């Protein structure tokens, strides 16, 4: 048998444990910490953010006027049959027919429609490409200013520049093969002796022609082989 004092001590211990459990159960549970917000919080990265109205603006000069003007079929860039003794890479300008041929070799050439010098300003001869320029500046020569004193003395390159998107300079002359911001003038006698192509075509020609390339300009009274379209 257990002593009565021992029984009373054990009863007190059990009673105390029971009370502690009741208070523990009644105490509110500690709230779990809040879940972290997702990163990057859907905000624009600071490094790439610029206040409205302060971001730099880029103006891309228009190089393709096809949406504004469509050349007649015969003046569109195309590969044609072209019999010549000239080496591939040679440029032949058929002034009377208003074509420029870039000799490909194997009896073929790339043919472009061009604008040529107006009456009294056509010329002929053999030159070479001495310089190439993208979106060239324009400085009218003194003789042109004498004829047209209203012309600017200098104009920076760009979509409003008469030389267009590309220019290839011919020898030590004032003449160039260049683009134009007036594609409707292709196929006409319009210039002061320069040869003009659409911006789209002059960009293509520019990519093919090397500095040093031979350029043959035929006179008005001579007609080159018109060339038969091959594709």
Contact 88, 208 (CB under 8 A): no
Show Cβ contacts of residue 146 under 8 Å, excluding neighbours closer than 6 positions. Answer: none
> Quick check: bond before 77 cis, omega within 30?
no
Catalytic residues: 178, 194
């Amino acid at each position: 048998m257990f002593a009565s004092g021992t029984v009373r001590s054990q009863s007190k211990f059990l009673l105390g444990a029971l009370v502690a459990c009741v208070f523990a159960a009644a105490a509110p549970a500690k709230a779990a910490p809040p879940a972290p917000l997702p990163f990057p919080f859907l905000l624009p990265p600071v490094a790439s953010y610029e206040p409205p109205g302060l971001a730099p603006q880029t103006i891309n000069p228009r190089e393709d006027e096809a949406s504004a003007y469509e050349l007649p079929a015969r003046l569109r860039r195309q590969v044609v049959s072209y019999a010549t003794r000239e080496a591939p890479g040679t440029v032949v300008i058929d002034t009377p027919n208003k074509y420029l041929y870039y000799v490909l070799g194997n009896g073929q050439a790339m043919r472009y429609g061009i604008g040529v010098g107006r009456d009294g300003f056509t010329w002929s001869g053999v030159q070479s490409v001495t310089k190439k320029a993208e979106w060239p500046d324009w400085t009218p020569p003194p003789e042109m200013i004498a004829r047209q004193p209203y012309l600017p003395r200098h104009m920076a390159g760009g979509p409003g520049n008469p030389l267009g998107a590309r220019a290839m300079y011919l020898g030590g002359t004032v003449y160039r093969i260049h683009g134009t911001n007036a594609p409707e003038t292709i196929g006409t006698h319009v210039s002061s002796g320069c040869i003009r192509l659409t911006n789209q075509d002059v960009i293509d020609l520019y990519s093919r022609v090397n500095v040093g390339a031979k350029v043959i300009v035929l006179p008005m009274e001579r007609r080159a082989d018109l060339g038969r379209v091959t594709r």
